[in-house]
């Protein structure tokens, strides 16, 4: 099962074929899972302990022929370090709806593909949904990126190099002014990728799925090593949000960050993953700089440890994480008053991949 993409250490089951030998390219898979979470220094409107359905999704795909398709439908939750926890109902309503990813794929050549629809972003090292990643919670760098965009993407593979170019609506804005691209070199267990995105226009449109970063440009350089029981992924990221009077941004700002993700699989289904990251922003409140973290000019770091277990289709894993901030603006950090400089979090997720 190559779609949805799963970094590991979770392992996807084989495709469940529909129609047997009659329609061998049509298959369906899915996931059902729940999450429980505790966090310290919660902000107003959030709770210290919560539980939710984290996934109840099906994946329907056609993977052969000159035309193919992929549909991902159902319920999902996207927990993110350093941000308030949202209910599954609100996550679906305010983000990507009950069908977050769905596209038609045209394959005019063996190494050429054209995707049209709601597509996963080409940016970053982490995917959107919990089960796709090494850790249960998404990280600080991921929270600067877009998740799903609607548009068209053309990809071409030549030898060890794959290039992708996309025209889309960026942060799910329904304004088609974004240009995205990635260039990936892969050789055995090694891969090196450069991704870039940018809004060629500006808009004041804003929702939870379309934050202020919808007017930004962003770049990422990623290396990955995957062999045997090990996965190692370091990457660097840069984002820039320019001034935009129409959107209320008097002065622009940028972020610079780096992260390291590591996973090791042990015997008998056990695994251990870890993520460390640091991100900083420039600007200051005095000149009206846009807030991209915990106040203009703030910085943050996180550390996450994720032990896991999988046997057959059942899996269970937990996150132990800590987020710290510095140069924060009072009222923009953690705790009821927004002045606490750290937030611990513990989460456990369990379910079935089928």
- Residue-wise pLDDT tens digits, 262-292: 999 999 999 999 999 999 999 888 888 999 9
Question: Which domains does the chain possess?
Answer: 16-353 (2.40.160.10)
Q: Is the pLDDT of residue 6 over 70?
A: yes
Kindly indicate the confidence band of residue 202, based on its pLDDT and cuts at 50, 70 and 90: confident
Both structure tokens of 300: 């943050």
Cβ partners under 8 Å of residue 272, min gap 6: 263, 264, 266, 305, 306, 307, 308
Mean pLDDT of 100-126: 96
Q: Which of 90-104, 238-252, 297-311 has the lowest mean pLDDT?
A: 238-252
Secondary structure of 105-129 in HEC code, one letter for each residue: EEEEECCEEEEEEEEECCCCCCCCC
When comparing pLDDT for 250 and 304, which is higher?
Answer: 304
Kindly indicate the confidence band of residue 248, based on its pLDDT and cuts at 50, 70 and 90: confident
User: How does the average pLDDT of the chain come out, rounded?
Assistant: 95
Kindly indicate the confidence band of residue 21, based on its pLDDT and cuts at 50, 70 and 90: low
Kindly indicate the confidence band of residue 261, based on its pLDDT and cuts at 50, 70 and 90: very high
Q: Give pLDDT, residue 246.
A: 78
**Sign of CA pseudo-dihedral 331, 336, 339, 344:** negative
Q: Give pLDDT, residue 314.
A: 98
């Amino acid at each position: 099962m190559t779609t949805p993409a799963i970094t590991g250490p979770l392992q996807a089951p084989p495709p469940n074929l529909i129609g047997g030998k009659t329609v061998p390219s049509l298959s369906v898979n899915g996931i059902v899972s729940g999450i429980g979470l505790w966090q310290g220094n919660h902000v107003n409107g959030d709770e210290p302990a919560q539980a939710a359905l984290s996934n109840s999704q099906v994946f329907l795909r056609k993977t052969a022929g000159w035309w193919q398709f992929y549909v991902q439908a159902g319920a999902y939750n996207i927990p993110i370090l350093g941000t308030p926890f949202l209910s599954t109902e609100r996550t679906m309503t305010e983000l990507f709806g009950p069908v977050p990813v769905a596209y038609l794929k045209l394959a005019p050549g063996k190494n050429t593909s054209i995707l049209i629809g709601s597509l996963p972003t080409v940016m970053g090292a982490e995917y959107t949904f919990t089960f796709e990643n090494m850790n249960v919670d998404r990280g600080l760098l991921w929270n600067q990126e877009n998740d799903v965009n609607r548009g068209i993407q053309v990809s071409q593979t030549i030898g060890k190099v794959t290039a992708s170019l996309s025209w889309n609506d960026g942060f799910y804005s329904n304004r088609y002014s974004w240009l995205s691209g990635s260039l990936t070199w892969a050789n055995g267990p090694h891969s090196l990728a450069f991704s870039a995105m940018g809004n060629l226009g500006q808009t004041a449109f804003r929702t939870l799925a379309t934050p202020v970063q919808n007017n930004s440009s962003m770049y990422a350089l990623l290396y990955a090593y995957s062999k045997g029981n090990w996965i190692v992924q370091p990457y660097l990221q840069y984002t820039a949000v320019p001034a935009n009077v129409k959107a209320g941004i008097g002065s622009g700002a940028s972020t610079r960050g780096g992260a390291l993700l590591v996973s090791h699989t042990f015997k008998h289904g056990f695994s251990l993953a870890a993520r460390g990251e640091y991100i900083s922003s420039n600007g200051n409140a005095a000149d009206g700089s846009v807030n991209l973290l915990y106040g203009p000019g703030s910085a943050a770091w996180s550390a996450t440890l994720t032990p896991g277990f999988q046997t057959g289709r059942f899996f269970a894993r937990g996150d132990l994480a800590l987020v710290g901030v510095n140069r924060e603006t009072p009222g923009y950090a953690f705790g009821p008053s927004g002045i606490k400089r750290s937030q611990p979090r513990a989460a456990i997720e369990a379910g079935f991949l089928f």
